[in-house]
A and B are shown apart, each in its own frame.
Chain A
Amino acid sequence: MTARFTKFGFDEKERFMLFLIAPAAIVLACFEIIPILIGMNASFREWSLVNPQRTWVGPKQYIAVFTDPVFLKMVLPNTFVLTIVSVGVSLALGLALASLLNRPFFGRAVVRTIILLPLTIAPVITATMMRWSFNDQFGVITIFLSYLGLPDVAWLSDRWPSFALIIITDIWIWTPWFTIILLAAMQGLPPEPFEAARIDAATPWCIFRRVTLPMLRPVIIVCVLIRAIDAFRTFDQVWILTGGGPARSTEVFSVYAYVLAFVDLDIGRAAAAAGIGALIMLFVGVGLYRLVNRSMEVS
Chain B
Amino acid sequence: MAEVILQDVVKKYGTFKVVHEVNLNIAAGEFVVLVGPSGCGKSTTLRMIAGLENISAGTIRIGDKVVNDLPPKDRDIAMVFQNYALYQHMTVFDNLAFGLRNRKVPETEIRSEVTRATQMLGLEPLLARKPFQLSGGQQQRVALGRCIVRRPQVFLFDEPLSNLDAKLRAQMRIEIKALRERVPTTSVYVTHDQVEAMTLGDRVVVMKDGWIQQIGTPLQIYNRPANRFVASFIGAPAMNFIGVELVEELGVMSAHAKDFKVELSLDQAAVLRKHGAKTVTLGIRPEHVRLGTPTNNTGSSFTGVVNVTEQLGSELVIALNVGGSTIMASRISPETEVSPHARVQMWVDGKELQLFDDKTEIAIR
Contacts and interface: CB of A to CB of B under 8 A. Distances in A.
Contacts of A195: 50, 52, 72, 79, 81, 85
A193 B73 contact: no
B81 A192 contact: yes
Interface in B88-130: 88-89, 98-99, 102-103, 130
Interface in B40-61: 50-52
B265 interface: no
A210 B50 contact: no
A50 to B, nearest CB: 58
B87 A199 contact: no
B71 interface: yes
A202 B87 CA distance: 13
Contacts of B132: 298-299
A202 B71 contact: no
A192 B83 CA distance: 8
Contact of B83 (A190, A206, A215): A190
A201 B99 contact: yes
Nearest to B77: A199
A298 B83 contact: no
Interface string A97-113: 00000000000000000
A169 B143 CA distance: 47
Contacts of B88: 193, 214-215, 298-299
Contact of B73 (A190, A200, A299): A200
A17 interface: no
B86 interface: yes
A206 B102 contact: yes
A36 to B, nearest CB: 39
Contacts of B83: 190, 192
Interface string A162-204: 0000000000000000000000000000101101111111110
A190 B52 CA distance: 15
B56 to A, nearest CB: 18
Interface residues of A, number: 20
Given A192-B81, A196-B79, A298-B89, A201 B130 contact: no
Nearest to A298: B89
A198 to B, nearest CB: 5
B244 interface: no
A214 to B, nearest CB: 4
Interface size class of B (residues with CB under 8 A): 20 to 34
Contacts of B79: 195-196, 199
Contacts of A192: 81-85
Nearest to A207: B102
B35 interface: no
Contact of A214 (B71, B87, B102): B87
Query: Which of the listed residues A192, A193, A210 has the most CB atoms from chain B within 10 Å of its own CB?
Result: A192
B78 interface: yes
Contacts of A54: none
A41 to B, nearest CB: 48
A199 B130 contact: no
A200 B102 contact: yes
Nearest to B75: A199
A217 interface: yes
B356 to A, nearest CB: 39
Nearest to B88: A299
Contacts of A196: 79, 81, 85-87, 146
A242 B72 CA distance: 55
Query: Which of the listed residues A195, A206, A211 has the most CB atoms from chain B within 10 Å of its own CB?
Result: A195
Contacts of A214: 87-89
B98 A217 contact: no
A35 to B, nearest CB: 43
Query: Which of the listed residues B51, B99, B146 has the most CB atoms from chain A within 10 Å of its own CB?
Result: B99
Contact of B99 (A200, A203, A298, A299): A200
A179 to B, nearest CB: 23
Contact of A210 (B73, B87, B103): B87
Contacts of B51: 198-199
Nearest to B130: A298
Given A195-B52, A298-B132, A201 B87 contact: no
Given A192-B81, A192-B83, A298-B132, A199 B72 contact: yes
Nearest to B103: A201
Contacts of A201: 73, 99, 102-103
Contacts of B87: 193, 196-197, 210-211, 214
Nearest to A297: B132
A192 B163 CA distance: 14
A202 B132 CA distance: 22
A202 B100 CA distance: 10
A198 B71 contact: yes
A199 B89 contact: no
Contacts of B73: 198-202
Nearest to A194: B85
Top 4 closest A-B pairs, CB basis?
A: A192-B85, A200-B99, A201-B73, A214-B89
Interface of B: 50-52, 71-73, 77-79, 81-89, 98-99, 102-103, 130, 132, 146
Given A195-B72, A196-B146, 19 more contacts: A190-B83, A192-B82, A193-B87, A195-B52, A195-B79, A196-B79, A196-B81, A196-B87, A197-B87, A198-B71, A198-B72, A199-B50, A199-B52, A199-B78, A201-B73, A201-B103, A211-B87, A214-B87, A217-B89
10 contacts: A190-B83, A192-B82, A195-B72, A200-B102, A201-B99, A202-B98, A202-B102, A203-B102, A210-B98, A215-B88
